[in-house]
Amino acid sequence: MCEQMARRRLDRSTRPPLYMSLGPFGLLRCLQISFLLALLIFVFKELAPNGLAQMYPRLSVELLIEANDSATPTRDVHPYLFTTRTDLPTQGSLHQPENSPAPLIDVNPFKVQDEDPPSEEFAPVFIEEALMKRKDLRICELDKWNWTVADPDKAIFYFVCCGPIERFLELPRRTPERPYLCYDCDAKLQMGSLAQDDCLLRQKCSPKLVALLSRRDFMFSSSDLRGWNLKNDSALLLPGVTHVNHIPAPEKLMKNKVTPSDPPKYFLTFQGIRNVGLHGASYVRLNLEALLNTSMQPPKGARGASGEVLPLPEKAFSLPPDVFISIADKASNHKEMRPYFSLFDSAYGLVLHGHGRWSYRLMETLNGEAIPVILADGWILPLDELIKWEQISLQLPEELSLDPEKLLDRLPRDAQSIAGRRQRLRDVYGKLMSSQEKRLVGLLRAAALWKRQWQVLEKQTLRMLADAATTS
């Protein structure tokens, strides 16, 4: 054995070096392979992940923003966005735990520049006499700010409201570029009748509604573009835009505002009445009340999406000390109540589906500088044509009302992430919502952007239902 090993060593020692046996061409090939291997090692070691940001800046921004918005829920992309969002993903976790802190990203929360659209695309406007008399809707205030004109032929938008539908149908034709803008008309026009089976399944819809929706010179402004069908969160939209509702008034909000602390006093808050969705459309508030045991007469069970009764756990989930949620069927049945506006001194504020998707708590939360956590499936948020809502809020699925612990886990606790969102929401609220004039001008800008591409955007609206009913 020892002799064999010695012979092998001798054989190896007498062999020529490898580089001599390869020849010149073989040596060149080895050098090429070595260079490529060294280059690959350098790339993976030195450039990933930070180096990729330099090689592919768009990819790096998307990944960082995706991490920043890891708490954003899965939801359908807004079906009538006037631009395709290629700069931001709609969601994503970057394979991080749901409760991992998100990095602070300085992102502009506005979709368009201040000068877009130019004022000649949305002003002046004409306000019909019936709407001028409605002081509660506050559209008439556009007149004192010199946004109006006395001749409707010179107006870009012609504001109408309040019905009756017969009067609307008698109005002279305008063009899609200078349309009627029907403000908060859905309830008065009984748009909910379109959700009945006779209309949706058998296309036997109200002839008058069909005639109005078929007119391309009519746009709508509503608090909820799907408000006509609360039980279908992917229903067709009203052809138009979501406005900032006149309730609550910005002056009242400012008067009641509690100066927020730094850091905020609370992490998450909500205090309100158990408002179940109309027609059994939502049980978000009831579920949180039941699972958190916040009232003296709590529901006997939670409810699933279809209204089925679900058993309660043996022990209610205990909220962290910096979270306050109180829901009851009436004010006298709350186990604990705290000064209402002080609760917006919070990192996050819940905005929950009540009787409908729209909630005045969105404005209260923004005014208080708390990040809105919205559980209202299918709600197209106000001025969506102007605002990158994912940069200033979190829209989470209503099903999280059945798991409060998981709901809390979806909210980043990272101080930088919270500070970044709060700063962006302050910018948005201050520029578009802090006065009635700003709200109305924001509405006009959003409507102008919508009508720029009305032929494309209308394909996701009730005009398609009206067209189908007309041809059937």
- Tokens of residue 280, six digits: 């059994």
Q: Are residues 383 and 466 in the same domain?
A: no
**Could you check whether the bond before residue 79 is cis, i.e. omega within 30 degrees of 0?**
no
Ranges 67-71, 225-229, 360-364, 378-382: which has the least confidence: 67-71
| 266-293 pLDDT tens trace | 999 999 999 999 999 999 999 999 999 9
What pLDDT was estimated at residue 315? 86
Q: What is the mean pLDDT of residues 426-441?
A: 97
**pLDDT higher than 60, residue 56:** no
Q: What is the mean pLDDT of residues 16-43?
A: 59
Q: Where residue 269 sits, what CATH number does that domain have?
A: 3.40.50
Start-to-end C-alpha separation, the chain: 97
Start-end of H helices in 402-461: 404-409, 415-432, 436-452, 454-457
Q: Are residues 303 and 169 in the same domain?
A: no
In a domain, 105, yes or no: no
Determine the 3-state secondary structure of 221 from DSSP. Answer: strand
264 preceded by cis ω (within 30°)?
no
pLDDT of residue 419: 96
Residues forming beta bridges with residue 19, ordered by sequence position = none
Distances (CA, A) of 235 to 194, 230, 274, 374, 464: 11, 9, 25, 19, 12
The confidence band for 197, taking pLDDT boundaries of 50, 70 and 90, is: confident
Q: What is the DSSP string of 74-109?
A: P-PPPTT-SS---SS-S---TT--TTSPPPP-----
Phi, psi of 468 (to 5 degrees): -65, -40
Helix residue ranges per DSSP H, 284-435: 284-292, 361-367, 404-409, 415-432
Residue closest to 279 by CA, chosen among 219, 389, 357: 357
- Give the position of tokens 């939209």: 237
Residue from 354, 361, 350 nearest 326 by CA: 350
Q: How many domains does the chain have?
A: 2
pLDDT grade for 445, boundaries at 50, 70 and 90: very high
Q: Are 159 and 232 part of one and the same domain?
A: yes
Q: Name the least confident of 50-59, 94-103, 211-220, 373-382.
A: 50-59
pLDDT in tens, 126-135: 999 989 988 8
pLDDT for res 220? 97
16 assigned to some structural domain: no
Same domain, 367 and 449: no
Give the 3-state secondary structure of residue 12. helix
> Is residue 49 a part of any domain in this protein?
no
> Cα separation of 8 and 193, whole Å?
95
pTM (2 decimals)?
0.78
Residues 418 and 285 in one domain: yes
Q: What does the pLDDT look like over 73-120, one tens digit per residue?
A: 333 333 322 333 333 333 333 223 334 444 445 589 999 999 999 999
User: Can you tell me the distance from the alpha carbon of 162 to that of 374, in angstroms, rounded to the nearest whole number?
Assistant: 29
Mark whether 339 and 192 lie in a shared domain.
no
Residue found under tokens 């735990």? 97
Is residue 33 included in any domain, yes or no?
no
Distance between CA 404 and CA 319 in Å, rounded?
Answer: 9
Give the range of the structural domain holding residue 206, as residue numbers without chain letter: 119-244+445-471
3-state helix, strand, coil in the chain (%, to 5): 40, 15, 45
In a domain? residue 100 = no
Q: Strand (E) positions, 125-242?
A: 125-127, 157-160, 180-183, 218-222, 240-242
Listed in sequence order, the DSSP H helices in 98-206 are 129-132, 141-144, 165-170, 197-200
Residues 267 and 234 reside in one and the same domain: no
406 vs 75, higher pLDDT: 406
pLDDT of residue 30: 62
Same domain, 367 and 264: yes
Q: What is the mean pLDDT of residues 186-202?
A: 86
Going from the C-alpha of 206 to that of each of 135, 185, 363, 385, the distances in angstroms are: 31, 16, 35, 30
CA 426 to chain centre: 16
Quote the tokens at residue 407.
Answer: 């709901």
Of 316, 336, 322, 321, residue with least CA distance to 404: 316
Q: How far apart (Å, rounded) are the C-alpha atoms in residues 399 and 314?
A: 20
Residue 335 lies in a domain: yes
Q: Is residue 464 part of a domain?
A: yes
Q: Are residues 141 and 216 in the same domain?
A: yes
Question: Are residues 175 and 287 located together in one domain of the fold?
Answer: no
Nearest to 426 by CA among 384, 386, 367: 367
For 61-76, write each residue's pLDDT tens digit: 333 333 334 433 333 3
CA-nearest of 472, 469, 464 to 199 is 469
Q: What is the pLDDT, as a whole number, of residue 40? A: 61
CA count, 13 A, side-chain hemisphere, 27 = 8
Q: Are 404 and 259 within one domain?
A: yes
Could you identify the residue written with the tokens 């969705």? Answer: 277
CA separation for the pair 198, 49 (Å, rounded): 57
Are both 219 and 261 inside the same structural domain? no
Per DSSP, the three-state class of 387 is: strand
272 within a domain of the structure (yes/no) = yes
